[in-house]
Structure 1
Amino acid sequence: MKSKQVTISIFLFFIAGLCEIGGGYLVWLWLRDSFAWWVGAIGGFILFLYGIVPTFQKATFHRIYAAYGGVFVVMSILWGWLIDNTPPDSYDVIGTIVAVVGVLIIYYYPRKEEKIWNS
């Protein structure tokens, strides 16, 4: 995989993560913290966008979503730390490292049978 392709895929994972976590957070605020209904509606729309963003990845559905699970772990821990002011503990850090290793193996390990990156 070329460095430009890796950069694009990481960017897409990041945008998808922001959409899922940000949209979910707005729905959370609406339902759990009694924010206005329109906050939840905006969150729902952002979650809809999350469903679209991964389709731009150049891989199969199952690998994209499996790898995104690891990206979601990393971004959720960072969101909690930066937005909710809840610093990660050592178990959060260890779990995040395991998730990142999983993403690298599932998504970025070269496979000969897939030629979708040549397009």
Structure 2
Amino acid sequence: MLKTAALFFATALAEIVGCYLPYLWLRKGGPWWVLFPAVISLGLFVWLLSLHPAASGRVYAAYGGVYVVTALLWLRFVDGAKLSMHDWLGAAIALLGMAVIVLGWQKPPG
């Protein structure tokens, strides 16, 4: 479970960076060359998602929980926003949902 969560965290970070860099260029007057690392980061995101052994729909569903937490951490440490108790509670619920889905990967559907 820890290995899966770490892989999901790396995947979420790659996706967020891949989307944040074009945002910097489009909305914050960032340099155009940030689009190159953005493309690389989004390619890394797709590759990382392909490393999971479960069906793609289950991977995307479970990944969503980790993405929520990673996005909130990005909001806190990169954007400097203060997170509320509701943010933390929502993150915990999202992670719990991810854990339930991942634990079900070992059992045959039925």
Number of paired residues? 109
Percent identity at matched positions? Answer: 35
1:25 partnered with 2:20 = yes
Of 57, 78, 83, which residue of structure 2 is paired with 1:62? 57
Tell me, what secondary structure is at the counterpart of 1:64? helix
Tell me, what secondary structure is at the counterpart of 2:107? coil
Spell out the pairing of 1:88-103 with structure 2 (5 A cutoff).
88-103=83-98
Q: Which 4+ runs in 1 deviate beyond 3 A? A: none
- Asked if the contact 2:5/2:66 (under 8 Å) is kept, the reply is no
Calculate the TM-score normalised by the size of structure 1: 0.83
Structure 1 residue identity aligned to 2:45 = Y
- In angstroms, what is the RMSD of aligned CA positions? 1.6
Q: 2 CA distance for matches of 1:30 and 1:60?
A: 35
The runs of 5 or more residues in structure 1 that have no matched partner are 1-5, 115-119
The runs of 5 or more residues in structure 2 that have no matched partner are none
User: 1:51–1:110: structure 2 CA closer, same or farther, 3 Å change rule?
Assistant: closer
Calculate the TM-score normalised by the size of structure 2: 0.89
